[in-house]
Structure 1
Amino acid sequence: MEKTLSKSDTPGNTSTAPPPASGEGKTELGDDATGQIRDARITYFGVFLLMFLIGIYTTMDAVIYYPIAEHFNDMQRANWLINSYLITMTSMQPIYGKCSDIAGRVPTMTVAALFLLVGSLLCAVSNSMDMLIASRAIQGVGSAGMYTIVNVVIGDLFTERERGKLMGFSSSAWSLASAAAVIIGGAIVQLSTWRVAFWLNVAISAVASGVVLYFLRVPKPSGTRREKLGRVDFGGSAISLVSIVLVLLALSWGGQQYPWSSARVICCIVFGVLIGALFVFYEAKYAKEPILPMYLFKTRNIALSVFGHLFFGAVTNAPLIFIPQWALVVKNTTPITSGLYTLPFSLSEGVAVVLTGLVVTKTGRYRECLWFGSVCLLVGSSLLIVLGRESHVGEVIGFMIICGFGFGTCIQTLILTAQVGAEGKDMATATTACIFTRSLGSMVVVAVLSSVSENKRKTEFANAIARFPEYASAITQVSYNQSLIHQLDLPVDVFNQILDVFMKSMRSAFIALVPFSVLFFLTVIFIEHKRLNTVKKVTIQ
């Protein structure tokens, strides 16, 4: 089903071929071009389906992690249901991009889908928190390949000018699926068992495998298996994995399981950074075909796009994590209702990403879209600070719409910025570098905001115990298990004091989010406009 396409006959190419010598040749050329266009459309339909499936399982998993921790009576490690997934997903993303250049998009995505299926199956049958955390890590390995390469495939098939609209439509599938998954995940938790969600993921993984094998018709890299094996950067892959995992472990532990000043956290950060420096040196000097060529960062727009994704991931991930928590703890909502608080974000994102894609395709301008989107994110994240116990639903909806619109405006245009600045052979690497730093930004913001929130919560709980010493035991219980605040029989004054603790801690987290928004705005301001090509670059050698 895969075909090797040349620069002149790739789908979406607008260059003019010389006329055929005979009528027979003209027919053959027309049939070949028609077949390539048909393959491109079939593949794009497959990409659309994959984005929908990815949106379902990623969002649904985020909705159910809190009830899972309650089931195992292990709230202290609830974040590890997300962290273990994010660590493996983030660390594997750069490697998947280069592997797909060497082995091909379809084989690489097939392997990723297999990891996702196995991880989901193990999650569904997990009988302990340890097993579930490990299974989530396996899911992350699969998810890294699925989400990363599906964004690359559009670049394989279409010109930069066409890409804006098509990336917008595919992202809208993810947004639509996310909105549906919020309701599905909440309903599963409230009406059934969280295991059903992972069994559903098993089915989704199987369907995704079928979509990859049947619908994806993309160019196949040249060379024998031995030649392809010789191109793999095993040394760079191993060094990058160790560096990234150490840094991500520090971000996951710091301020939560261990103090930031603890030897474990400091060692992970120091050795992670040192090994990261070794990775840069190795890639620049010794790697035959580096997984992350350092010369890419000499191009202004690529460097700004990759760097901007770090702050972009931070700004856009925070509301989706903290708003449902705010709804559960402060508003005492059900799991379904708490998930619905993020629905305006997903819906406005879906609208924005389609409109932005149409504008980019029509005008060829993408820099101004980034400026507008970054302003929306700055305004929306700043408004979250005013949320309080008395805030009504309309306020939350308005704030989430602004954040979602900013997210949708930037998510594909920021990737497109890097793709436009890269040569065709580096398109996949530039794309995966952007997605990697976005995931890293998500990890950073979880670590920073959770640490800020936790420190504030400790201080305020100490004040609450000092004020109500006779209820010290109950207050301590609530500090370890937030859900108890609405279950324990507490006097009104004590209840209000505890609720204020959570509200103040979340507000401190929202305040800490603003600098990330400012840094993202300042980064995209310096992006230069480059013309979108109407002739497709050769992306697979």
Structure 2
Amino acid sequence: MTSTQSTQNGKQAVFRALFRKNSSPPSSEITNTDEPSPSSTTLETFKDQQSNILPHNKLMIVFPTIALAQMISYLDQTCISTAVPAIGESLNMGPSISWIATSFLLASTSIQLVNGRLSDIVGRKPLLLICMGILAGANLCAGFAQNAAMLFAFRSIAGLGGGAITALVMIIASDITTLEQRGKYNGFIGAMVGLGNGIGPLIGGALTQHASWRWCFWFIVPVIVVVMVVIAIVIPPSTVRGNAWTKLRMLDWLGLVMNVGAVVLVLIPISQGGSTYPWDGTLVIAMLTISGLLIITFVLVEWKFAKLPMMPIRLFQSDKSANLVFLQGTLHGVVYWANLFYIPMYLQTVRGYSPILSGAIILPMVASHGVGSLVSGHIISKTGHYGPLRANDHLFELCLVGGCVVAVDLHEDKSCVGDLFDWVFAGDWDWGCFPAKADRAVTNSLRNFLRILGGSVGLTISGTILNNTLKTQLRNTLPLDVINTITSSAYSLSSINLSPNQYEMVMDAYMAGMHTIFVMYAPIIGVCFVCAVLIRDEGVAEKDARAPVDTSSRADEGRGSEKKGVRDGGEGSMVNSPSVGRQERV
């Protein structure tokens, strides 16, 4: 009985095992899901899900649309620049007038790094619409501001929306085009950036002179709403897998706090130091010290602890060319943003031109930027190479900056004619950095962050040079309180009773300061040229590049390529490409 029962029990055990096996779905069916459960959400969820290469006829509709969104972001910034004197006088701002730009800059810089990861989580299109709505609402409220604090608060909110738009547009452009196409179609975006920078001062000056500075905020709101409707219709919907709340919990919240804190505590002292706060003051030293500690902590968090880092350290470790691109973008941001601010100041303060006339004089500069983007984009798409164009661009800029130095020094009326064409063929200085698709959004956000951060540093250095020059040359001529008023705002000269002789001395001091600023630009552009020469030109033909392997997913990858193939299948996935387990450059 014992042997018989043992045999029967053995058969029953085998039968039960077979029944359980047959009643369970195959492993391939288990992994063939588009929506992973919250518990299974890993970094693999953030692979390239939103690539949607569009045909030419659709690109001709989508690209002008996202280019309009980019234009709105730049139009919002440049339109306000010519209205600053009127705003300061209306709201009795005094020396705090610089916070109109600083508040926007702080928020715009702070949002950049997290922007890429948020687009991975909620989708590019929804996030773009949300940010445009934020910009519209903030501008509407800013137009009703009754005091400086209200205006600064709403400009900070506008900076969150406007700063995110600039990066999201470039991320979407990368999602819907191949490398071969990108240069040609990105010309639309470059042209609209030039248009926004060009007509912004004209519109702002006209509205300020003939209506009210409040319309500089209000007029753009209906434009944003119209573009939002068009975006909702023409841009393909974002495809995002996984549970959004689960992925939000994976977000690098500690890194976000460290990043925002560091940005705020760096930009406030460097933008206000020497004017609002003394450089050797306790507050400035304390903020810079704390920001340094936060930066170190942020890097450690991103490197060792963050599951989903906003700034993956591997982006700096993978390729020398990528680091050169990041450096070049930062330095170019120094010159680009400083020029956009100080050329109008020079024209209005030193030359005495009206806001409308100064905007008209700047128009050739920004128009050449747009034309250069279109032409260079087509050249890159035709030739398949970007290296020579990039190097020639910075060599040309270096010659023009030298011309500006000489012209300003000679006090000629056409003192900045060279700089008006400073960005011919500019706009392609990000070529050469080809991240894996999973890192595409964060790479675009990082580049944008470095550009704006470079611009912040450039504005600060330029302002410090100008203020020190003014103080040095005027300290034996004017009272200290008058000098402090002049250095607090370039637009305050009209409110100071200066004799003709004193006014001429102030103009000479401004001229000397502008000359020194242009001298500073020359070595910076020279370094950009060296970087352009050293960046390896790999061409724009689609090639496979080894995708970054995340340690949290290595165990899953080792369980069988057949499971991974089913799980990650779909257009644009790694495993369905000709080389399994490899990923194309983007």
Q: Does 1:51 align with 2:70?
A: yes
Of 427, 433, 453, which residue of structure 1 is paired with 2:446?
433
Summarize the Cα distance change of 1:476–1:314 in structure 2 as closer, same or farther, 3 Å threshold: closer
Secondary structure of the residue that 2:227 maps to in structure 1?
helix
Of 414, 425, 435, which residue of structure 2 is paired with 1:422?
435
Offset of 1:160 from its aligned partner?
0.6
* Letter of the structure 1 residue corresponding to residue 394 of structure 2: S
Summarize the Cα distance change of 1:393–1:504 in structure 2 as closer, same or farther, 3 Å threshold: closer
**Quick check: 2:202–2:356 contact (8 Å CA) kept in 1?**
yes
Of 498, 508, 519, which residue of structure 2 is paired with 1:511?
519
* Letter of the structure 1 residue corresponding to residue 452 of structure 2: S
Of 432, 437, 459, which residue of structure 2 is paired with 1:446?
459
* Letter of the structure 1 residue corresponding to residue 95 of structure 2: Q
Structure 1 spans left out of the alignment, 5+ residues: 13-34
Secondary structure of the residue that 2:477 maps to in structure 1?
helix
1:21 corresponding residue in structure 2 = none
**Quick check: 1:344–1:397 contact (8 Å CA) kept in 2?**
no
What do you get for the CA RMSD once the two structures are aligned? 2.8
Summarize the Cα distance change of 1:484–1:539 in structure 2 as closer, same or farther, 3 Å threshold: same
* TM-score after normalising by structure 1: 0.86
Larger helix share, 1 or 2? 1
* Letter of the structure 1 residue corresponding to residue 471 of structure 2: K
**Quick check: 1:426–1:539 contact (8 Å CA) kept in 2?**
no
Structure 2 spans left out of the alignment, 5+ residues: 1-44, 546-570, 575-586
Q: Does 1:81 align with 2:96?
A: no
Of 367, 379, 385, which residue of structure 2 is paired with 1:365?
385
Summarize the Cα distance change of 1:64–1:540 in structure 2 as closer, same or farther, 3 Å threshold: farther
Offset of 1:397 from its aligned partner?
2.7
Summarize the Cα distance change of 1:364–1:257 in structure 2 as closer, same or farther, 3 Å threshold: same
* Structural mapping, 1:120-139, within 5 Å: 120-139=139-158
Deviations 1:440-469 (A, max 9, x none): 01100111110111111112221213xxx8
Offset of 1:205 from its aligned partner?
2.9
Q: Does 1:460 align with 2:468?
A: no
> Distance in 2 between the 1:243 and 1:301 partners?
27
Offset of 1:508 from its aligned partner?
2.6
- More deviation, 426-435/492-501: 492-501
Offset of 1:283 from its aligned partner?
1.2
> Distance in 1 between the 2:130 and 2:152 partners?
21
1:528 corresponding residue in structure 2 = 536
2:286 corresponding residue in structure 1 = 267
Deviations 1:480-522 (A, max 9, x none): 5655645766543233222212222222332333332233223
* TM-score after normalising by structure 2: 0.80
Summarize the Cα distance change of 1:378–1:205 in structure 2 as closer, same or farther, 3 Å threshold: same
Of 297, 307, 310, which residue of structure 2 is paired with 1:291?
310
Offset of 1:7 from its aligned partner?
8.6
Q: Does 1:216 align with 2:235?
A: yes
> Distance in 2 between the 1:300 and 1:539 partners?
27
**Quick check: 1:330–1:389 contact (8 Å CA) kept in 2?**
no
Of 330, 341, 346, which residue of structure 2 is paired with 1:326?
346
1:353 corresponding residue in structure 2 = 373
Summarize the Cα distance change of 1:337–1:38 in structure 2 as closer, same or farther, 3 Å threshold: closer
**Quick check: 2:131–2:164 contact (8 Å CA) kept in 1?**
yes
1:32 corresponding residue in structure 2 = none
Summarize the Cα distance change of 1:476–1:434 in structure 2 as closer, same or farther, 3 Å threshold: closer
Offset of 1:181 from its aligned partner?
1.9
Offset of 1:117 from its aligned partner?
1.6
Of 243, 249, 253, which residue of structure 1 is paired with 2:272?
253
> Distance in 2 between the 1:110 and 1:387 partners?
45
**Quick check: 2:404–2:415 contact (8 Å CA) kept in 1?**
no
**Identity over the aligned pairs, expressed in percent?**
25
Rg: which structure is higher?
2
> Distance in 1 between the 2:56 and 2:408 partners?
54
Summarize the Cα distance change of 1:109–1:450 in structure 2 as closer, same or farther, 3 Å threshold: same
Secondary structure of the residue that 1:337 maps to in structure 2?
helix
> Distance in 1 between the 2:174 and 2:293 partners?
34
* Letter of the structure 1 residue corresponding to residue 461 of structure 2: V
**Quick check: 1:49–1:211 contact (8 Å CA) kept in 2?**
no
> Distance in 2 between the 1:478 and 1:180 partners?
28
Of 271, 282, 299, which residue of structure 2 is paired with 1:280?
299
Q: How many pairs does the alignment contain? A: 503
* Letter of the structure 1 residue corresponding to residue 447 of structure 2: C
Offset of 1:368 from its aligned partner?
1.4
